[in-house]
């Protein structure tokens, strides 16, 4: 099956949030506001399952050395980062990178309060 995967890396807003979870687990993790994530480049992967596609996405988004950079030359994926997955038949899901593997979760909250939250977060920086 073909999967389109779009990583969302936590940014400074996420790291400064008072409820930041440094070592997320399936039973204890936090998905923040959309402004707490930087959208990364989408990649397409052919795999047998979503789990296999996520594993390949993880490998693709690791800065290992000069010969292996991430597709967008950004930082490596790490725990707490999200991936939006869309299957070839249009099914969508969100996954969070936990300390031990991936866990299905919810999309970042996108609301009218994002602008207000951004302003207050900017003031704190």
pLDDT (0 to 100) of residue 30: 79
Rounded to an integer, what distance in angstroms lies between the CA atom of residue 70 and that of residue 124?
30
Domain count, the chain: 1
Q: What is the pLDDT along the chain (125 residues), one digit of tens a residue?
A: 999 999 999 888 776 776 766 667 777 777 888 998 999 999 999 999 999 999 999 999 998 777 778 888 888 999 899 999 999 999 999 999 988 889 999 999 885 554 444 444 444 43
DSSP assigned state of 75: P
pLDDT (0 to 100) of residue 123: 40
> Which stretch of DSSP H or E encloses residue 53?
helix 50-60
Q: Which domain holds residue 77?
A: 2-124
CA distances from 87 to 9, 19, 41, 48, 102 (A): 21, 32, 17, 11, 17
pLDDT (0 to 100) of residue 113: 54
Q: Please give the distance of CA 78 from its chain centroid, rounded to a whole number.
A: 8
């Amino acid at each position: 099956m073909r999967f389109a995967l779009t990583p969302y890396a936590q940014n400074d807003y996420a790291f400064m949030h008072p409820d930041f979870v440094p070592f997320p687990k399936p039973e204890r993790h936090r998905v923040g506001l959309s402004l707490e994530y930087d959208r990364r480049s989408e990649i397409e992967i052919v795999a047998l399952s979503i789990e296999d596609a996520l594993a390949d996405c993880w490998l693709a988004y690791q800065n290992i050395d000069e010969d292996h950079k991430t597709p967008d030359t950004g930082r490596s994926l790490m725990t707490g980062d999200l991936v939006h997955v869309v299957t070839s038949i249009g099914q969508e899901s969100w996954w969070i990178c936990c300390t031990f593997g991936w866990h299905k979760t919810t999309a970042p909250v996108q609301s009218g309060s994002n602008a207000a939250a951004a302003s207050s977060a900017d003031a704190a920086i």
